[in-house]
Each structure stands twice: as C-alpha cells, then as structure tokens.
Amino acid sequence: MSFHVIEQAPARLNRSELAVPGSAPQMFQKAAESEADVIFLDLEDAVAPDEKADARRNIIKALNEIDWGTKTMSVRINGLDTHYMYRDVVDVVEQAGERLDLIMIPKVGTAADVYAVDMMVTQIEDAKGLKKRIGFEHIIETALGMQNVSAIAGASKRNESLHFGVADYAASTRARTTIIGGVNPDYSVLTDADDQGGRERHWGDMWHYALARMVVAARANGLRPIDGPFGDFSDRDGYLAAARRAAVLGCEGKWAIHPSQIAMANEVMSPSEGEVTKAQRILSAMAEAEAAGKGAVSLDGRLIDYASIRQAEVLVEKARQIAA
Ligand code: GLV
Ligand code: MG
C-alpha cells in the first residue's frame, strides 16, 4: 500500500440520483416521497434562461418548506461561464444552506473552477454561521474536464463525487451521436467471416474509456463515481444494461432523469443477497485463516487473500448502509 492515505468522502448512499427541474415545483413533493437516495434540484440545463430566477426561488422555498426526510439534497448550479452562477450560489446557500447537503457543479473544467466555488461557499457559510459544510459533486462532461479530471477530483476537501455527463460530453468531444447515453451501432467490430462467409457485428460501449477514466480519478481521491443520465426512459433494458456496465466498472450510482429509473438504479447499485452472503463467508474464512497463521486460503475452489477481505468489506459495508 502507498504511504499516501486516501481520505474518503463522507459515506452517503448514492445509488440513485434523481434530477428534478427547479422550474417544475409540481414535481417536488413526489420526488421527496420517492426512493431516490439523492435528489438534485436543477437550475442548469433543464431550466430555460427566462425561468432561472423563478426556479431559484422555487428551490429555496422547497428546500426550506418540504419535508425531504433523510434524503441527500443537492442543487445543480449554472456553469461558471454564465452570469447566473454567482446568484445561484449566493441565494441558495444564504437562504437554504441549512438543508442543502451538496452543490453540483456542471461542466467543471479545471481545478480553479472548484477553487472559485469553494471560496464563495466558504465565505457564505462563515457569514451565515452555517455549521454543516456543503459538499461538492462535479459533472465531468467536457473534454477539458476529462483532461483535468484528476486535478478536479483533488481540488477541494468539499469534493464528494464525480458524475459522468454523457450528453454534454458527447457534444464537447463531438462524438457522433445525439442520444443521451446508450450505445451506437457504429461503435462496433466485425468478426472474421465464418465458413459461409457470414460476419457478425459486436457492439462496443463507446463510453467505456471516459467512464473508466473518471472512476479511477474518483477512487484515487476517495470520491464516489456516479454514472449520469440515460435519456430514453421507455427503454428499461437499455437503462439496466448501462447501469450494470457502470457498476461493474466501479460506479456506485446512476442518475434517474425519470422517476421510473429510480428503482432500477437502486436495485443494480445494491449488492445482491448472494453477493453479501459470499462476502461474509470470505470474511469468516479469512478470519479463520489468519487465526491459523495463513495469509491465503481457498474458498469454493478459488484463492482468497487479503485483497479479498478489502473487496468483501466494501460490499458488507454497503449492505449495512442500505439496511440502516
Ligand atoms: C448531464 O448533465 C449530461 O450532460 O449528460
Ligand atoms: Mg450536462
């Protein structure tokens, strides 16, 4: 293990993150009653320019007046390249900072962007005497943000999570797709011809590199990697497949841009009963091995060692959080 200790962000369940436009207050109560782990009230791309001020007011009122229970509450502010952003931060933190857990920063490009928001939030928290420190979630969704993802991940003690914003990332990198998430038949390989001359097409995941790169930067800095939106909410199988791919790579949550996606995210991002039982058996087997002075043993015909303990502990801890 490196001498460098990775400080972990506060442990929050973040299996599902529901996006709710700030300009649609009629959706707030239903969101509060949903099973989403995290809700972000949006001031950015789901809100038209002439609705920004109203959306801000709606969000402040809702944070103060609606009973959000134990949900983690976030607000997606506008980008640092817009003049909406400073007022988003000032008004929301000053007037609803008590109930706000996180600020989501879209299109973050450099560590200096994080520094700028950190400086503003710190001043407002101090001036208002807020006791709870507001955390940051960053959407990695531009070529610049991806280039600087490691520096962004390490840029503030407020950082909690990185999110892959596939739609803006596609636009920024000029990827040839107009769908939000999902796959593209042009990103595929052809097998060699079989005896009859037939060839098969195997579709690939065009987002693999981006997501994997973001996961590494997040984990190396103790942050939660979260997969972003899947636009076609009528395609349940497509959503599940995307969520499973993200989970396999190490993501611990996925956005829900429609309430119907919340349960799917929660299910995919929770360890199954079988996985938890297996993890508990690994921990017992390793405890026995250790007591007998051994560092590695076999369980069900497979080698397990100290690395298996760490993997098993992550699963068991996640199950404990979900049950709490
Ligand atoms: C999310 O903000 C995205 O652009 O996908
Ligand atoms: Mg975006």
pLDDT band at 37 (very low <50, low <70, confident <90, very high): very high
189 Cα to the center of ligand 1, angstroms: 27
| Cβ within 8 Å of residue 300, ≥6 positions away | none
| Residue carrying structure tokens 């506008």 | 78
219 Cα to the center of ligand 2, angstroms: 22
For residues 202-222, average pLDDT: 97
Whole-number CA gyration radius for the chain: 21
pLDDT at 306 over 90: no
Locate the ligand 1 atom nearest the alpha carbon of residue 229 and give its number.
5
Protein residues with CB under 6 Å of any ligand 1 atom: 106, 139, 141, 165-168, 228-229
Query: Which residues keep their CB under 5 angstroms from ion ligand 2?
Result: 141, 165, 168
pLDDT in tens, 135-159: 999 999 999 999 999 999 999 999 9
Beta strands in 217-289 (DSSP E): 224-227, 253-256
104-162-86 Cα angle (round to 5): 25
ipTM, 2 decimals? 0.99
The pTM is what? 0.93
Rounded to whole angstroms, the Cα distance separating 85 from 78 reads 5
pLDDT band at 308 (very low <50, low <70, confident <90, very high): confident
Quickly count helices (H) and strands (E) in the chain.
Answer: 12, 12
Question: 42: annotated binding-site residue?
Answer: no
Distance of CA 21 to the CA centre of its chain: 18
Question: 168: annotated binding-site residue?
Answer: yes
Residue type, 269: M
pLDDT in tens, 266-288: 999 998 899 899 999 999 988 88
What pLDDT is stored for residue 258 in this prediction? 97
Q: What is the mean pLDDT of the chain?
A: 95
For residues 120-124, average pLDDT: 98
Rounded to whole angstroms, the Cα distance separating 323 from 103 reads 26
174 Cα to the center of ligand 1, angstroms: 14
107 Cα to the center of ligand 2, angstroms: 7
